Amino acid sequence: MVKPNERVLIAETMTDQTTAQFVHRPTYAEVDTSALRSNFDAIKAHVSGAKVMAVVKANGYGHGLFTVARELERRGVDSLGVAYIEEALELRAAGISSPILVFGGVLKDQLPLFINNDVDVTASSVSKIEQIDTAAKTLGKRARVHLKVDTGLERIGVHYYSSQTLFDAALNAPHCDVVGVYSHFAEVNPNDLFVAKEQLARFHDSTRYFQQRATRPFLRHIAASSGLLMLPESHLDMVRPGLSLYGVYPHPEMRERLKLSPALALKSQVVFFKVVKKDAGVSYGHLWRAPHDTRIITVPIGYGDGYLRSLSNKGAAIIRGKRHSVVGAVCMDQMMVNIGSDGEAYNGDEVVLIGSQNGASITVEELADSIQTTPHEILVALNQRIPRVVRR
């Protein structure tokens, strides 16, 4: 059963002309599950034998946590990755039975939530593995644990040069099952892989100690989207695709490595039209002034929905197959688009903010580049105020 707070509307078959009839507001995000399946299959084939942990944190990168998790579980995903225990508990409540790893740091008081709900916990220090073991013993259960080694990100995890202490503690934790050991790349630069290769070497050096002493198999994983695309030797036992799973590339140079399909389109409709006179300022602060008499339309989406205010004077919209510029400051709930002195638009016309229409397109990567951020931020900013329409 779909959770109300996801605001997902299922459309088994739907045309562009009928989409708006299924949503509560003119603005919505369209999620293409066939693209998700295609991307998952392409990644699975690309990593040739390695397991796949699909990263579904931050509401499935804006695509809908339950929608993505259900679709990939049906597709045979090996496990799921989230940031917080709350996300894992939501998945369990929705009936997701796949293994789930929580990447983030965990507090002692949260440990029973992991153990009682069969959620994998990240052990990032000796004291943490000891706390996990004690909690499991108290509950009369076993804990599933992934040991975290910091090879250069300096976020959480024991330093690679001190990792033996963590491994020894894990070997002496009788109520813990170590199912994985992992790290995370700080950088996978397609033009210079030195940093990534150095981290991978550190990871190999540190895990060798545990491999020689562990009494049961465990999974080594370090590669997220950039690593799995650019560094085949980093695939190891499992990969953790996030951005690539949704058909978005971390770097333009990675497009040549694997064909992926965007799984999300952001759409709205024209709700107002006016002619703005030359030199008139548009929106708060008059950050843009009309260079000549021009036609401006209003679109009901703003930074309150996650269309970032930093896209003011930088975003784009497609109307009737033509690209136009977002002008003036993006407001909390609305923004303005300049369709020019001879542009044509009517109330109710479809507005594409991410996606394609009649041969014109706007990509997540393009928007991210225009404001010097990552594609991740563009996607995860799209919040729950925007309904999701799921195409199957």
Question: What is the dihedral sign for C-alpha 84, 152, 98, 58?
Answer: positive
Neighbours of 251 (CB within 10 A): 18
Class level of CATH domain 264-391: mainly beta
CA distances from 78 to 49, 53, 75, 128, 216 (A): 12, 6, 9, 26, 18
Taking each helix axis as running N to C, give the angle between helix 126-139 and helix 163-171, from 0 to 180 degrees, rounded to the nearest 10: 20
Per residue in 286-316, is it b (16+ CB within 10 Å) or e — as a string?
A: eebebeeebbbbbbbbbbebbbbebbbbebb
What is the CATH topology of the domain spanning 33-250? TIM Barrel (3.20.20)
Helix (H, G, I), strand (E, B) or coil at 110: helix
Extract the residue ranges of the chain whose pLDDT is less than 70.
Answer: 1-23
Task: Note the pLDDT of residue 53.
Answer: 99
Over residues 11-34, the pLDDT tens digits come to 433 444 444 445 578 999 999 999
pTM of the model: 0.93
Task: Note the pLDDT of residue 5.
Answer: 44
Cβ–Cβ < 8 Å for 234, 227: yes
Task: Give the whole-angstrom CA distance, residue 166 versus residue 127.
Answer: 9
Task: Note the pLDDT of residue 342.
Answer: 87
| Token pair recorded at residue 45 | 């084939």
Could you tell me where in the chain the CATH 3.20.20.10 domains are found? 33-250
Give the residue carrying structure tokens 């990939």.
72
Question: What is the dihedral sign for C-alpha 246, 252, 258, 260?
Answer: positive
Could you tell me where in the chain the CATH 2.40.37.10 domains are found? 264-391
Enzyme catalytic residues:
57, 284
- Helix, strand, coil share (%) of the chain residues, nearest 5: 35, 25, 40
